[in-house]
Chain A
Amino acid sequence: MNNGSNIIFEAKGITKRFGGVTALEDVDLQVHEGKVNVVVGENGAGKSTLMKILSGVYADYGGQLFFKGEAVHFNNPKEAMAQGIAIIHQELNLIPYLTISENIFLGREIRTPLGVLNTKQMHSKTQALLTRLNCHLSPNTLVGALKVGEQQLVEIAKALLEEAKVVIMDEPTSAISDTEVATLFNIIRALKEQDVSLLYISHKLDELFQIADRFIGLRDGKMVGTLEQAAKATKEDLIRLMVGRDLKHLFKKEAVPMGAEILRVENLNLRINKAHQASAHRLKNIHFKLRKGEVLGIFGLMGAGRTELLETLFGLHAKDMTGSISIASEQVHIRSVMDAIAHGMALVPEDRKEDGLVLQMEIAKNVSLASMGKITKNGVINAKSEMTLAKKFIETLHIRTPSERQHAKNLSGGNQQKVVLAKWLATHPKVLFLDEPTRGIDINAKNEIYHLINALAKKGLGLVVVSSELPEIMAISDRILVLANGSVSAEFNQENAHEEKIMQAATQ
C-alpha cells in the first residue's frame, strides 16, 4: 500500500521466455486503483510482453496475477475482459468498413428475440458511451473515415462497454497528433474520475508528466523500481530509471584504424505521402559520413526513422527521397535495391523472418540468394560452388546446423541471423547496414555478432548499425547518431557518449 491507495491488480514473480530468450524475469507490478500507472523502459525492456500477459494475450508464463486480491489466470483476452481488464493495443483492431457502433458491439451484438440485430439499442448505447468520452461523433460513422486518434476513442469506448476496471494502453500517443494527444489525456483524466485504473506505457517522457500518478521502471525484463510521486519526479529521474544497463563488461569494441571515406549522405529527406502517417516517420535533412573500418551506431526510439533511414539508403524509397549519397567520394544514384547492391551496399533487415530469409529454403540457397551471379554460368547454378560458399560461412560464422541443406526455418534465431549476414557478406559489400542485428537472439549469439561486427570493421568495411538498445549501441559503435522525429538530434563520439545524454537527445 502506498499513499493510502488500493491495489486493484497485481502481478507477482512474472517470468516469460521465448525459446531461449528471457523476456521477463520475476517481475512484480502493482496497479493502484483510480490512478494512472505509467510503465517506462527502453524498447526491448519487456513492456509490451508484460502488458500482453496482464491482458490475457499470453496465457503461459511463470508467476501469478491477482485481481482485487484474488488469484486469477486468463487464457485469452476475452477472459481478462470479463474480469474488467481491457487493453488498447498500439495497432488498433477495428474494422474500417463497419460503423462505430458495429465495431463496438462486434462479437457481442444485441439481438431482438427473433435473432435480428437490435440496431436501435446498440446505437443508443454507443451514443451514451461516446458522450461519456466527450466525443461528438455519430455512432453511424464508418471507422475507416475516422482519424487515428478518433479510432482510439472507439477502442476505449469498446473497453468501457464491458465495464472495464483496468484499462491498459500500449504507446497510445505514438501515432496521433498533438491536439489528439490533448484530447486523449482529457479522457484519461475523466476515466480516473470514474474510478477506472490505468496502466499506461510510453517512452514519450515529456508528455507523461501531464497524466502520470506514479512511474514503474522496467529494464531488461526486470523491475527496477518505482517513483510513487510522479509530481515530484523529473525527466532525469525517469531516464535514470530506464537506462543503466551494463554491456561493456561483455564486449568492448576494439579500436580499428580507419580508412578513407566510404559513404557520405547529404541533405537526405524522405517524405511519406500516406495520409495516416504521423510526421515522425519522415526523415529530415540528414547528413553523415562513414569511413572504412568505422562502426556508426544509430540510436532512436520507435518511430524515430531508424529503419526508414537504412531503407532509403538501400533504394527502397527511391521515389520519395531527395538528397545525395556518395560512395567512396563518388555520387551515386540509387533507384532500386539492385542499384544499391551493385554499389556495394548490403542491408540486414530488422525482421529476419519477414524480410531476411526464405524460411522454407535450405541454408545454402539462402546464403547465395543475393549473389547468384558469382556461382552461375549462363544462368545455370554451379551446385558445388553454392555448397562451398555455404560451408565457408557456416564455418567462419559458426552457424550451428547439421548441414548446409537444413531449412532455414529449423534454425534458432541467432543462427538464422547469421545466415542473413552470410547472404550479405557473400556479396562482398563495402558498406553494411545492420538493422537491430541482435533482436530476439540469445546472449551468446549476441556476443558473436558483436565480435563479427568488429572483425568486419577490421577488414575495412563501413558499418551502420541501428539499435534501440542503448548499452549495445554504446558498446559496439565508434560514433553514435541519435535520431528523434526523423532528424539527427545529437552526435556522440565513443569518448563522450553517455547513456543519459543519449536518451535525453532521443526523447526530444
Chain B
Amino acid sequence: MNQIKNTLLRFQSIIALVALCIVLTLLSDKFLTPENGWNIMRQISINVCISVGMTLVILTRGIDLSVGSILAFSGAVTAGLLKYGVELPAFNVFMEFTVFGAILGGLLVGGCLGTFNGWMITRFKVPPFVATLAMLTIARGATMLWTGGFPITGLGTTFAFIGTGWFLGIPMPVWIMAVLVGLAMFVTHKMVFGRYIYAVGGNESAARLSGIDIKKIKVWVYALAGILAAVGGIMLTSRLDSAQPNAGMSYELDSIAAVVIGGTSLSGGRGSIMGTVQGALIIGVLNSGLVLLNVSPFWQQIIKGFVILIAVILDRLNHPNED
C-alpha cells in the first residue's frame, strides 16, 4: 500500500500529464492531432530554455527574476545588430553583423548580465531575490533605451528560420530545446559542475568544507541562466520577426512555475531538468487545452494558479521533512 503510494507520488508529474492529456482528448477532438502536438512543443520551447537555467539556479537555492528582461534585451540586441549594425563615431568604425555574429552578440549580452547577477550575489552578498529583481528593471530599461521603445522588425528570412523553420520534420525551436535539455541533463547528472550545483544547494556549509568553490559555482549558474534566457530571446525575436521592447514580461513567473511543478525544491539541492521539462509540458498542455475548450483567458490564469498549488502540495506530501 505504502509502496503504491510512494510510486504514485514519485511519478506524480508524469501521471498528471498523462491524465491531463486523456481528459483533453475526450473533451476535444482537436487536441490529439499532430499539428496541435507541434504547436504545444513550439510554444513551450522558449519556456523550457529559460527554465533549464532557472532549474540550475533554484538547485543552488537561488532564484532568478531577471530572465524575462534579459530575454527581451538579448533579443533586441540581436535584432539591432542584425538590422542596423554598430556605429562608433569616435573611432570612425561601422560594424555590420552576420546572423551568426548578431546571435553571438545577443548570447554574450545575456551571459554578461547573468554574470553580473552572480557577482552581486557572491561578492556583495545581495540576496538572489533582490539582485535579480534589480536586474529585472535594469535590463528592461536597457531594452527600452536600445530600441527607443519601438519594435525592431524586418530581420530577414535566414534569421526567421531559427524560430519558424523545420528541420528533418521537426520545428527548429524544438530542436534547440531538445539539444539544450540533453546538454543540461548531461551536465547535471554526469559532470562535476552539476554535482557541485546539487552539493551547494543541498548543504552549502558541507560543500564549502569539502573544498568546493561556492562563489565560482554560483556565478556560473547565474551566467548560464542569462545565456539561456538570451537563447529564448533570440528564438522569440526570430519567431515574431520582431524584437518587442516589452517582450518576455512575466516569463520568469512561468519559468518558476515550470520548475516548481516539476518537483524541484525551492530550498535547493533537490530536483531535475527532466522534472522541469514535465512541468513546462503540463503548463503547455493545459494552456492549449483550455484554449481549445474556449475557456476564458481570465479563468485560464486562475486554473494555472491552482495547478501550481496542487503540484506543490503533492510535493510536500512526497517530502514531508523539508522546510
Binding between chains A and B? yes
**What's the Cα separation between A358 and B196 when bound, in Å?**
11
**What's the Cα separation between A173 and B206 when bound, in Å?**
31
Q: Given A338-B213, A341-B211: A355 and B195 within 8 A (CB)?
A: no
Interchain CB contact (< 8 A) of A369 among B190, B191, B199, B270 = B199
Q: Given A380-B191, A381-B190, A381-B191: A358 and B203 within 8 A (CB)?
A: yes
Interface residues of B in 151-205 (CB under 8 A from A): 190-193, 195-196, 198-199, 202-203, 205
A contact residues around B212 at 8 Å (CB): 369
Query: Is there an interface contact between A359 and B203, defined as CB atoms closer than 8 Å?
Result: yes
A contact residues around B193 at 8 Å (CB): 379
Interface residues of B in 250-279 (CB under 8 A from A): 269-270
**What's the Cα separation between A365 and B198 when bound, in Å?**
10
Query: Is there an interface contact between B192 and A376, defined as CB atoms closer than 8 Å?
Result: yes
Which of A349, A355, A356 is the most central at the interface, judged by chain B CB atoms within 10 Å of its CB?
A: A355
Query: Is there an interface contact between B198 and A358, defined as CB atoms closer than 8 Å?
Result: yes
Q: Digit string of A314-352 for contact with B (CB within 8 Å is 1, else 0)? A: 101000000000000000000001101100000101000
Query: Is there an interface contact between A372 and B195, defined as CB atoms closer than 8 Å?
Result: yes
A357: Cβ under 8 A from any B Cβ = yes
**What's the Cα separation between A323 and B270 when bound, in Å?**
41
Query: Is there an interface contact between A359 and B205, defined as CB atoms closer than 8 Å?
Result: no
Which of A354, A380, A423 is the most central at the interface, judged by chain B CB atoms within 10 Å of its CB?
A: A380
**What's the Cα separation between A357 and B199 when bound, in Å?**
9
Query: Is there an interface contact between A360 and B190, defined as CB atoms closer than 8 Å?
Result: no
**What's the Cα separation between A91 and B209 when bound, in Å?**
25
B207: Cβ under 8 A from any A Cβ = yes
Task: Please tell me the size bucket of the interface on B.
Answer: 20 to 34
Query: Is there an interface contact between A338 and B211, defined as CB atoms closer than 8 Å?
Result: yes
B contact residues around A357 at 8 Å (CB): 203, 206
Query: Is there an interface contact between A381 and B195, defined as CB atoms closer than 8 Å?
Result: yes
Q: Digit string of A356-383 for contact with B (CB within 8 Å is 1, else 0)? A: 1111110001000110100010011101
Interchain CB contact (< 8 A) of A347 among B191, B209, B213 = B209
Query: Is there an interface contact between B209 and A355, defined as CB atoms closer than 8 Å?
Result: yes
**What's the Cα separation between A360 and B207 when bound, in Å?**
13
Query: Is there an interface contact between A360 and B202, defined as CB atoms closer than 8 Å?
Result: yes
Query: Is there an interface contact between B210 and A369, defined as CB atoms closer than 8 Å?
Result: yes
B30: Cβ under 8 A from any A Cβ = no
Query: Is there an interface contact between A379 and B192, defined as CB atoms closer than 8 Å?
Result: yes
B contact residues around A341 at 8 Å (CB): 211
B contact residues around A360 at 8 Å (CB): 202, 269-270
B contact residues around A361 at 8 Å (CB): 198-199, 202, 269
Which of B191, B192, B203, B207 is the most central at the interface, judged by chain A CB atoms within 10 Å of its CB?
A: B203
Task: Please tell me the size bucket of the interface on A.
Answer: 20 to 34
B contact residues around A359 at 8 Å (CB): 202-203
A235 CB to closest chain B CB (Å) equals 38
Q: Given A358-B199, A358-B269, A359-B203: A349 and B191 within 8 A (CB)?
A: no
B208: Cβ under 8 A from any A Cβ = yes
Which of A314, A355, A358, A379 is the most central at the interface, judged by chain B CB atoms within 10 Å of its CB?
A: A358
A contact residues around B199 at 8 Å (CB): 358, 361, 365, 369
**What's the Cα separation between A347 and B195 when bound, in Å?**
21
B contact residues around A365 at 8 Å (CB): 195, 198-199
B213 CB to closest chain A CB (Å) equals 7
Which of B198, B202, B206, B207 is the most central at the interface, judged by chain A CB atoms within 10 Å of its CB?
A: B206
B116 CB to closest chain A CB (Å) equals 24
A contact residues around B206 at 8 Å (CB): 354-358, 369
**What's the Cα separation between A357 and B195 when bound, in Å?**
14
A contact residues around B209 at 8 Å (CB): 314, 316, 337, 347, 349, 355-356
A contact residues around B270 at 8 Å (CB): 360
A contact residues around B269 at 8 Å (CB): 358, 360-361
Residue of A nearest to B319 (CB): A360
B198 CB to closest chain A CB (Å) equals 7
A contact residues around B190 at 8 Å (CB): 380-381, 383
A contact residues around B213 at 8 Å (CB): 338
Interchain CB contact (< 8 A) of A423 among B191, B202, B203, B210 = B210
Q: Given A361-B198, A369-B199, A379-B191: A337 and B208 within 8 A (CB)?
A: yes
**What's the Cα separation between A361 and B59 when bound, in Å?**
13
Q: Given A337-B211, A338-B211, A369-B199: A355 and B205 within 8 A (CB)?
A: yes
**What's the Cα separation between A354 and B209 when bound, in Å?**
11
Query: Is there an interface contact between A370 and B210, defined as CB atoms closer than 8 Å?
Result: yes
Q: Digit string of B199-229 for contact with A (CB within 8 Å is 1, else 0)? A: 1001101111111110000000000000000
Residue of A nearest to B270 (CB): A360
B contact residues around A383 at 8 Å (CB): 190
B contact residues around A381 at 8 Å (CB): 190-192, 195
Residue of B nearest to A420 (CB): B206
Query: Is there an interface contact between B205 and A354, defined as CB atoms closer than 8 Å?
Result: yes
Q: Given A379-B192, A381-B192, A381-B195: A358 and B207 within 8 A (CB)?
A: yes
Which of A316, A359, A370, A372 is the most central at the interface, judged by chain B CB atoms within 10 Å of its CB?
A: A372
B contact residues around A347 at 8 Å (CB): 209
Residue of B nearest to A341 (CB): B211
B315 CB to closest chain A CB (Å) equals 14
Can you list the 7 inter-chain pairs with the closest CB atoms, starting with the nearest?
A358-B202, A370-B210, A341-B211, A358-B203, A369-B210, A355-B205, A372-B192
- Could you write out 11 A-B pairs with CB less than 8 Å apart? A338-B211, A354-B205, A356-B206, A358-B207, A359-B203, A365-B199, A369-B210, A372-B195, A379-B191, A381-B190, A383-B190
Task: List B residues at the A interface (Cβ < 8 Å).
Answer: 190-193, 195-196, 198-199, 202-203, 205-213, 269-270
Having A369-B206, A380-B191, one finds 5 other A-B pairs with CB under 8 Å, namely: A354-B205, A355-B205, A359-B203, A369-B212, A381-B190
